[in-house]
Structure 1
Amino acid sequence: MLKEVCVENFTRVPEVIAKGAGRIELCDNLSVGGTTVSHGVAVKTIEYCHRSNIQVMAMVRPRGGNFIYSKEEIELMREDLVHLKQLGTDGVVLGCLDESGWIDEEAMLRLLESAKSLDVTFHMAFDHIQPEWQLAAIDWLANHGVKRILTHGGPMNSLIEQNHHRLKEYIDHAADRIIILPGGGITTKNLNEITTSLNIKEAHGTKIVG
């Protein structure tokens, strides 16, 4: 079981690795769902993690709020992505939507072009896609080389256990073409139950290592 631990800044990185984190999702401002970290934080975290043979997935998100971005914000994201790639991140975590509640395909294609050779996770923007389009979104992301989708399986104010059926539906539909990475409310207390019931090999959270 690979435990991806979401960390805010560098502070907790040594601790969570010592406790069993197998991969780090690096972001700032968790109170708004995570944004891109500073240059210094990225450098220090990537260097530290690579010495411990731990991969880093760096958040690329210019602000909190919704996932509908202007052309200028998309360009900011692209520049941050290229910068993080140059620093040696193993992957990036991002997601762009349009006003209809579908993937912003133009923006994603631009970012994915810059992310070539990196792992890409489409983050919980996925949970804001219109529910009736989410299975089609899995297809689109899989067909365009995205490696995994981070999802709660439902509204963030719901318990992840309540979303078991929907998460299983995603996993079955993905059919090993793309990894479905459950997150949001997974802790050391419910990790084993969730991973066993969903038959998954990766899980995400801020509290999944003791």
Structure 2
Amino acid sequence: MIKEFCAENFTDIPRAIHAGAKRIELCDNLAVGGTTPSTGVIEETLNYAGEKGIPVMTMIRPRGGDFIYNDTELKIMHTDLIEAKKIGTDGVVFGCLTPSGWLDEEALELLIETAEGLQITFHMAFDAILPSRQFEAIDWLADHGVTRILTHGGPSGTPISANIVRLKELIAYAKNRLIILPGAGINAENVAEIVTALGVNEAHGTKIVKITD
């Protein structure tokens, strides 16, 4: 099983890897759901995790709040993605939507093209897409080479256990064209139960492994 540890900065990464994290999602500012970490943090994380054979997915998100970005914000994301790729990140994590709640196809095409050769995770912006259009979104993202979708399977704040049925539907629909990565509310205590219920072998969380001092 791949436990993806969501890290706010470098501080907890050595202990998280020691505790069994097999992949790192690297962010800053988790209080707003994660934003792009600094170049220095990316570099040190890649150096450390690389020695341990642990891949790093770098968050590309210019601010907290919604996932509707203007041209300046997209330019920032594009530059940050280029820099993260140059430093050697294994993958990137992003998501862009339109005001109507659909994928911002133009923005995503630019970022996906720039990320060529990297793993791509479409993050929890997916959960802000109307449920009636989420299958369509899976089709679009799979067709454009996205590696995985990080999703809670329902509105934020709902327990992950309440979203098992929906997550199973998403996983069944994706049919291994891309990975549905469950997250938010998954911790070291319930991860085995959740992945077994869903029949998946990857899960994501800030508490996915038990970090001890």
TM range (shorter): over 0.9
**SS in structure 2 of the partner of residue 58 of structure 1:** strand
Shift of 1:158: 0.2
Tell me which residue corresponds to 1:172: 172
Shift of 1:208: 1.1
Q: Distance in 1 between matches of 2:130 and 2:198?
A: 23
Q: Distance in 1 between matches of 2:172 and 2:94?
A: 23
**SS in structure 1 of the partner of residue 79 of structure 2:** helix
Structure 2: gaps spanning 5 or more residues: none
- 1:12 equivalent in alignment to 2:30: no
Tell me which residue corresponds to 1:190: 190
Shift of 1:37: 0.5
Q: TM-score, normalised by structure 2?
A: 0.98
Shift of 1:157: 1.0
Tell me which residue corresponds to 1:153: 153
Shift of 1:131: 1.1
Q: Distance in 1 between matches of 2:189 and 2:11?
A: 23
In the TM superposition, what whole-angstrom CA distance separates every residue of 1:62-81 from its partner, at most 9, and x where no partner exists?
Answer: 00000000011111100000
- Residue identity opposite 2:70 in structure 1: S
Shift of 1:130: 1.1
Shift of 1:44: 0.4
Aligned residues: 210
Tell me which residue corresponds to 1:34: 34
Tell me which residue corresponds to 2:24: 24
In the TM superposition, what whole-angstrom CA distance separates every residue of 1:173-203 from its partner, at most 9, and x where no partner exists?
Answer: 0000000000000011111111001000100
Structure 1: gaps spanning 5 or more residues: none
- Trace 1:117-132 onto structure 2 (pairs within 5 A): 117-132=117-132
- 1:43 equivalent in alignment to 2:47: no
**SS in structure 1 of the partner of residue 25 of structure 2:** strand
Identical aligned residues as a percent: 59
Tell me which residue corresponds to 1:86: 86
- Trace 1:138-149 onto structure 2 (pairs within 5 A): 138-149=138-149
In the TM superposition, what whole-angstrom CA distance separates every residue of 1:9-44 from its partner, at most 9, and x where no partner exists?
Answer: 100000000000000000000000000001111110
- Which region of structure 1 is more displaced relative to structure 2, 115-124 or 184-193? 184-193
- 1:135 equivalent in alignment to 2:132: no
- Residue identity opposite 2:173 in structure 1: H
Q: CA RMSD in A?
A: 0.5
Q: Distance in 2 between matches of 1:142 and 1:94?
A: 15
**SS in structure 2 of the partner of residue 185 of structure 1:** coil
Tell me which residue corresponds to 2:57: 57
Runs of 4 or more above 2 Å deviation: none
Q: TM-score, normalised by structure 1?
A: 0.99
Tell me which residue corresponds to 2:68: 68
- Residue identity opposite 2:55 in structure 1: Q
Q: Distance in 1 between matches of 2:145 and 2:164?
A: 26
